[in-house]
């Protein structure tokens, strides 16, 4: 594969990857970090991005929406929350 040899092809531009990981092949051949794998799987399951709190704040500002989990449980009375047909 050209991309693994450090060459662009019609589907892949290698420069951005090589800037971040100069020895990309070693990255692919490296040992797996079980903790990181579990963190990625958890994020996939709940649909939340992985990153530092600063990065998440930046993403929230860019997207104009919250990416962090909200407070669990029912909303407090008088909080202005929307009610559905099942709400008293």
State pLDDT tens for residues 41-80: 888 888 888 888 898 899 999 999 988 888 888 877 765 5
Does 15 score more than 60 pLDDT? yes
Domain ranges of the chain: 1-30, 33-67
- For the chain, the distance separating the N- and C-terminal CA atoms, rounded to the nearest angstrom, is 62
Q: pLDDT tens digits for 30-41?
A: 777 888 888 888
Structure tokens at 73: 């449980």
Does 14 score more than 80 pLDDT? yes
Write down the H helix ranges in 1-88: 15-20, 24-29, 34-46, 53-63
What's CA 5's distance to the chain center, in Å?
A: 28
Predicted confidence band at 22 (pLDDT cuts at 50, 70, 90)? confident
């Amino acid at each position: 594969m050209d991309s693994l040899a450090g060459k662009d092809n019609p589907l892949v531009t290698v420069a951005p990857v090589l800037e971040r990981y100069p020895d990309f092949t070693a990255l692919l051949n490296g040992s797996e970090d079980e903790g990181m794998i579990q963190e990625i799987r958890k994020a996939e399951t709940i649909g939340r991005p992985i990153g530092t709190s600063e990065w998440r704040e930046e993403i929230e500002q860019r997207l104009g929406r919250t990416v962090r989990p909200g407070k669990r449980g029912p909303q407090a009375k008088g909080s202005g929350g929307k009610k559905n047909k099942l709400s008293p």
